[in-house]
Structure 1
Amino acid sequence: MAQQQQIFERQTKIAELVRTAGFISVDSLAQHFGVTPQTIRRDVNKLCDEGMLRRIHGGVAPPADRPNIDYRKRKLINLKAKEEIAATVAERIPDHASLAISIGTTPELCAKALSGHSHLRIFTNNFNAAFVCCENATFEVTVPGGRLRNKDKDLLGSSAVDLFKAYKVDVGVFGVGGVDSDGTLLDFYEGEVGARQAILANCRRAYLVLDQSKFGRTAHVRGGHITEVDAVFCDAPPPESIRHILEDAGVELVICDNGGKKKRPALG
């Protein structure tokens, strides 16, 4: 069991390193982890077979742009960074608050990071987040009705939009498929944009949560702009053009590297 966990953690780190660097040779990865090239090749073969990376002569690179990969596999990408984001967001949420939480792996981790809070009211179309929140007996969790997307375990469409329109919540927490160079928010499906926009329109404060891989990532459905939110939570500084856009619009940029150790403030 311990060995399997070690392999899992190494493969997760490989995926993160490659997505950050763009290309890494097998020999470099072997040297970095202190294992044989044969071990790295086995790891790389598994990651490539799952669509998380792609082989290039002499090494490995991120997958070519295509429809979003499987939810379970996305959870492994930049996992530590997403957990830092989630911990920082959780420190901004007081007890007894109401929240709308969107689909996506980072919003799910935000829900998990809220487990130590009390008496939160959660509205979400992300059933992964809903199940996590139900573990806290003081939380009230409301979800829409309809057909789940099997792999993602979430729900899109009119019932999700209607849920978010029916309530005015303190905080909306949502992710995004990608951010274009001009700050346009992008997703892979129209239903994802519709639900996210409904959250944005019906929350008192809007928190956009995303790791640095989302900047410049290709997704074809436009929906909103990064300046429409109150705060952007990211694991590293975004591109300079995005920083200027946020500064000019007065949007708070939170670089999440403190482990979420700050005291929770009241909502302002």
Structure 2
Amino acid sequence: MALAKQYSDRQVQIIETVTETGFSAIDALSAQFNVSTQTIRRDVNALCELGELRRVWGGVEPPPLSGNLLYAKRRIMNVEAKRQIAREVAREIPDGSSVALSIGTTPEMLIDALQEKTNIKVFTNNLNVAMQASERHDWSVTIAGGAVRSGDRDILGSEVEAFFNRFEVDFGVFGVAGVSQDGGLLDFSEAEVGCRRSIVKNCRSSFLVMDHTKFGRPAHVRGGHLSDVDTIFCDKPIPEIFADKLGKTRLIIAAPERGEEGEA
């Protein structure tokens, strides 16, 4: 991941820890990473200058959210959770499958998780997905046309919806920006919703991939419901308030690989 190389592993893990907990004290971070408080302060100060975190009395917290985060920043948030989810999805996809992959960081990580699979047919509007998948000589990659969104490296709009409507694939894999308390799926634009709905309509099995932070996260465009998809993949058990919103939707909690549990 390009942006992750600009940060140390510890700094990436600090961002993930603070994002997940909502607040972390300097002393607690020092103990967690087994380094001095001075070292943690240097890391935190650097991350605050870059806008990744915000200093508050006694510790640090995530910056206030105002709309969607830049794609490059989303790539380094909850990385291990997304990898766990991607590996679990890959177990459900056999050799020779056709897969529609939408925008977002978790669908991108699925390409890495599918590397041992053969003869995969990829249909996508995600340039990151297309570039990685095209490195496999036994896979085929078909990509939507249109204007590329700056920074997000993807394509949205009516052309993309028409693109996904031209195919019927085995699996459709997509994420969401957030989930409302009534189980509604939320995104930041109507184009994102339209893309997701086109994938759901034209796949035999629909897979919603999302880490636990998406539950209750605000976004302003509604489109679909948790019960509309066949399977939801998440890294942790979902909050109780959402459990009765699933209907017949299958829920798979992605377990960490052996040796990951307890890692930051």
In the superposition, the TM-score normalised over structure 2's length comes to: 0.92
Quick one: distance in 1 between partners of 2:125 and 2:213? Answer: 24
C-alpha root-mean-square deviation of aligned residues, in Å? 1.8
What's the counterpart of residue 252 of structure 2? 254
Residue 138 of structure 2 corresponds to residue 118 of structure 1: no
CA distance in 1, matches of 2:43, 2:68: 21
Q: Which amino acid aligns with 2:76?
A: L
Contact 1:11–1:47 under 8 Å retained in 2: yes
Give me the identity figure in percent.
48
Q: Which amino acid aligns with 1:253?
A: L
3-state secondary structure, aligned to 1:245: coil
Structure 2 counterpart of 1:90 = 90
Letter in 1 for 2:231: A
Deviation at 1:6, TM superposition (A): 11
Listed as ranges, the gaps of 5+ residues in structure 1 are 261-268
Deviation at 1:66, TM superposition (A): 1.0
Measured in 2, the distance between the counterparts of 1:168 and 1:259 equals: 33
Structure 2: where are the runs of 5+ without partners? Answer: 259-264
1: CA distance between counterparts of 2:126 and 2:38?
Answer: 39
Q: What residue number does 1:195 align with?
A: 195
Indicate the larger mover: 58-67 or 231-240.
Answer: 58-67
SS of match in other structure, 2:42: helix
Q: In the alignment, which residue of structure 1 is the partner of 2:30?
A: 30
Q: Distance in 1 between matches of 2:80 and 2:251?
A: 19
Helix, strand or coil: the match of 1:195? helix
In 2, distance between residues paired with 1:82 and 1:165? 27
The SS at the match of 1:43 is: helix
Deviation at 1:69, TM superposition (A): 1.5
Higher mean C-alpha deviation, range 232-241 or range 4-13:
4-13
Residue 173 of structure 1 is matched in structure 2 by 173
Counterpart-to-counterpart distance in 1, 2:198 and 2:6: 41
One-letter code of the match for 1:211?
D
- C-alpha separation between the residues in 2 aligned to 1:253 and 1:114? 20
Name the amino acid aligned to 2:176. V
Shift of 1:35: 1.5
> TM-score, length-normalised on structure 1?
0.90
d(CA) in 1 for partners of 2:50, 2:107: 23
Deviates more, 1:7-16 or 1:116-125: 7-16
Counterpart-to-counterpart distance in 1, 2:61 and 2:130:
34
Give the residue type in structure 2 aligned to 1:191. A
How many residues were matched structurally? 255
Which deviates further from its counterpart, 154-163 or 59-68?
59-68
CA distance in 2, matches of 1:210, 1:148: 24
Which residue identity does 2:83 align to in structure 1? E
1:258 is displaced (CA, Å) by: 5.2
Following TM superposition, the consecutive aligned residue runs of length 4 or more in structure 1 with deviations greater than 3 angstroms are: 4-7
CA distance in structure 2 between the aligned counterparts of 1:259 and 1:89, rounded to whole angstroms: 14
Q: Aligned equivalents of 1:49 and 1:225: distance in 2? A: 38
Indicate if the aligned counterparts of 1:54 and 1:61 stay in contact, CA closer than 8 A: yes
Q: Equivalent residue for 2:211?
A: 211
1:55 aligned partner, one-letter code: R
- Distance in 2 of aligned mates of 1:170 and 1:97: 6
Alignment of 1:96-115 (within 5 A): 96-115=96-115
Question: Match of 2:148?
Answer: 148
Match of 1:61 in 2: 61
Aligned to 2:134: 134
